[in-house]
């Protein structure tokens, strides 16, 4: 979080607010204006309570107000703790608990590091307002795009966060664990212009790299569940449907995301994945997922809906709402079914 934009908070949809969208060629104004906030929310159709493969208009779509970035403010008391909250698992847990207390949340959010996944692949960082953000791109030529990463429990950046999650889980904390999608991780590692040109001119190395990242993230997610995490919150903010179009989005964002989701081993008791509202809309528009609306007897905080469903293990994936909206209550949720006809 940073002093006024959650630039080091690691709070899911917001994890792009200062985490190297310069790497992705997408500035904040573009995202909050009309990129992510309407990605995948047009076209297709709705039949009854099932979203068969398109979006809905903004009045119908539960997550339509999601800005694509986290606009909440970091508590000054946490900002004053300095860099140690990103470098020590115990201090990270203290910071996460303080954030939850000050925001009135009954769960903690991890990680605090905006670029933890890219760091696991050797990504450069710089310190901005006391928080690590991606630095110089690791790759400036697609022909040199060769990724190497340790397993999540061995890579320093992800291992630190997993240790923190295990400490919290052992003490009975409820945890929302934020994971960035494959395209966003690659965008943080790669020169912007090189990546976007490469989507057209050199697609195979990029697809191969995205597959590697998806597999790593699946290992990371399974390790998080094993550490005691109840809910993973997933977003791929650099993969903007409106900027890429359906074909490119499907190949470079949607299919790697499905590869990641399938490998998590859900549903199972005690574990659930929440899809960011914008990611949900984009995947549905590409017919990569099917959504079923499940009404509730009365409105409840969305986070409570997630944790309740995680306990039962009846549903593996939920989407369509935003954890970061100020009005956090929902009178329904969207169960997500992965399209079995898409290649693995």
Give the distance, in angstroms, between the CA of residue 87 and the centroid of all CA atoms in the same chain. Answer: 21
Q: Predicted confidence band at 53 (pLDDT cuts at 50, 70, 90)?
A: very low
Q: What is the pLDDT of residue 18?
A: 31
pLDDT tens for 273-286 read: 999 988 999 999 99
Arithmetic mean of pLDDT over the chain: 80
Most confident of 18-22, 59-63, 133-137, 229-233: 229-233
Q: What is the pTM of this model?
A: 0.83
- Confidence check: pLDDT of 134 > 90: no
Q: What's the pLDDT at 74?
A: 62
**pLDDT above 80 (res 39):** no
Percent of the chain surpassing pLDDT 70: 77
* Neighbour-count burial for 143-165, b at 16+ CB within 10 Å, e otherwise: eebebebeebeebebbbbbbbbb
Examine the pLDDT at 337 and tell me if it is beyond 90: yes
Q: Which CATH number fits domain 12-338: 3.20.20, 2.60.40, 3.90.228, 3.10.180?
A: 3.20.20
CA distance 252 to 295: 33
Residue at token pair 């409820």 = 174
At residue 273, the 3 state secondary structure works out as: strand
Look at residue 185 and tell me whether its pLDDT is greater than 80: yes
Checking if the pLDDT of 10 tops 70, the result is no
Per-residue pLDDT of 230-260, as tens digits, reads 999 999 988 788 889 999 999 999 999 999 9
Report the pLDDT value the prediction gives residue 63, as an integer from 0 to 100: 53
- Answer whether residue 25 shows pLDDT above 70: no
């Amino acid at each position: 979080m940073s002093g006024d934009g959650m630039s080091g908070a690691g709070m899911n949809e917001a994890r792009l607010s200062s985490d190297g969208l310069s790497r992705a060629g997408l500035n904040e104004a573009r995202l909050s204006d009309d990129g992510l906030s309407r990605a995948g929310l047009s076209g297709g159709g709705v039949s009854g309570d099932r979203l068969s493969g398109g979006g809905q208009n903004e009045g119908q779509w539960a997550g339509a107000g999601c800005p694509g970035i986290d606009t909440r403010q970091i508590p000054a008391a946490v900002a004053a703790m300095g860099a140690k909250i990103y470098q020590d698992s115990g201090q990270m847990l203290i910071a996460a608990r303080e954030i939850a207390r000050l925001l009135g949340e009954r769960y903690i959010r991890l990680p605090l590091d905006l670029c933890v996944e890219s760091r696991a692949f050797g990504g450069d960082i710089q310190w901005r307002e006391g928080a690590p953000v991606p630095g110089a791109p690791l790759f400036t030529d697609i022909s040199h795009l060769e990724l190497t990463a340790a397993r999540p429990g061995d890579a320093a950046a992800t291992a630190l966060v997993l240790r923190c999650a295990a400490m919290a889980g052992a003490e009975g904390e409820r945890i929302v664990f934020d994971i960035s999608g494959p395209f966003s991780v690659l965008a943080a590692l790669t020169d912007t212009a090189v990546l976007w040109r490469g989507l057209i001119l050199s697609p195979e190395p990029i697809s191969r790299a995205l597959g590697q990242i998806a597999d790593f993230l699946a290992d990371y997610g399974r390790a998080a569940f094993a550490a005691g995490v109840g809910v993973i919150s997933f977003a791929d903010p650099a993969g903007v449907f409106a900027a890429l179009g359906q074909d490119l989005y499907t190949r470079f964002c949607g299919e790697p995301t499905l590869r990641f989701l399938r490998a998590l081993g859900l549903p199972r008791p005690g574990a659930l994945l929440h899809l960011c509202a914008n990611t949900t809309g984009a995947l549905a528009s590409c017919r990569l997922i099917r959504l079923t609306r499940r009404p509730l007897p009365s409105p409840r905080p969305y986070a409570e809906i997630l944790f309740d469903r995680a306990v039962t293990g009846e549903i593996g994936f939920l989407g369509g709402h935003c954890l970061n909206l100020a009005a956090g209550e929902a009178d329904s949720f969207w169960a997500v079914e992965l399209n079995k006809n898409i290649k693995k």
